[in-house]
Amino acid sequence: MTACQSETEYYKIDWSVKLALPEPSGLAYDKLRDELWSVSDENHGIYQVSTNGEILKRVEIPDGDLEGIAFVDDSTLAVLSEESREVVFVSINGKVIDRKPVFDNGVFNNGPEGIAYDADNKTYWVANEKNPALIVKYDSLFNEIERKEIDFVRDVSGLFYDNVDNSLWMTSDEDNKILKLDTELNILKAYDTNIKQMEGIAIDHKNKAIYIVSDSEEKLYGLKLK
């Protein structure tokens, strides 16, 4: 993996709103409903959120320490539990459908932190936060396809797959960076920002927006998609 040679840009915040959601960690865009989904790493909650930050619904699952979420289809979400080191497949009404272990062939000091899903190819990317920062690609049955260590940031705090241009978006909390990657995990674009403790990112082409959640501030941020 190599970084592109262009200079890092700075991404300005367009707007922000306080969320009635404790410690949001993870974000997914539901293009069918033009809404967002997030999880709390303080409780067991999965939250349906409008694109202006209104909480529309909350469901609860048994798993704790939820750290990532991906929209799979119109009725299914994939939620990442750091506590159990599993991807938990959940209906939008909170029914647990299936579970798949991640990082089951290695010992890591920090747990899974982000998940992204490519519906066209039915593949998943799951990030280990750090020590090492790592992204693992899985097929639809959660057989590992490949893994790569991330050496251009200190941690990975959020992931999102953009099917419009077949790219991965990633946040780094410790480096305050937003990165756009190709699916080989090479950097296409890198942006600095001053959002604290970014732990989720989602891309919305309909509204030309990048959404980011801050864990510590409990805020949803909107940035104009370039």
Rounded Cα gap, residues 94 and 115, in angstroms:
18
| 83-89 contact pairs (CB < 8 A, 24+) | 85/111, 85/112, 87/115, 87/124, 87/126, 87/142, 88/61, 88/63
Q: Is residue 2 part of a domain?
A: no
Phi and psi torsions of 220, nearest 5°: -105, 130
Tokens linked to 122: 């039915």
The first and second tokens of residue 53, run together, are 């930050």
Residue 4 lies in a domain: no
Please count the structural domains in the chain.
1
Task: Identify whether 212 is part of a domain.
Answer: yes
Q: What is the pLDDT of residue 2?
A: 40
* Domain annotation covers residue 90: yes
Residue 7 within any structural domain of the chain: no
84 token code pair: 């159990």
The rounded distance, in Å, linking the Cα atoms of 7 and 85 is: 36
pLDDT at position 190? 96
Edge-to-edge strand ranges of the sheet holding 219-224: 15-18, 219-224, 209-214, 198-204
Give the chain's residues under pLDDT 70.
1-7, 104-109
Can you tell me the distance from the alpha carbon of 223 to that of 201, in angstroms, rounded to the nearest whole number? 11
Place of tokens 């300005």: 12
Q: How many Cβ atoms sit within 10 Å of the Cβ of residue 15?
A: 12
Identify whether 6 is part of a domain. Answer: no
The enclosing domain of 94 has a CATH number of 2.120.10.30
User: Whole-angstrom Cα distance, residue 133 to residue 80?
Assistant: 16
Rounded to 5 degrees, what angle do the CA atoms 8, 14, 15 make? Answer: 135
Q: How far apart are CA 225 and CA 208, in angstroms?
A: 5
Both tokens assigned to 194:
């001053």
Q: What is the pLDDT of residues 14-41, one digit of tens each?
A: 999 999 999 999 999 999 999 999 999 8
Q: Which two tokens stand for residue 38?
A: 């997030």
Neighbours of 183 (CB within 10 A): 14
pLDDT score recorded for residue 43: 92
Domain assignment present for residue 3? The answer is no
- Establish if 219 belongs to a structural domain: yes
Q: Residue 30's domain spans which residues?
A: 12-224
163, 178, 167, 150: which is closest to 71 by C-alpha?
Answer: 163
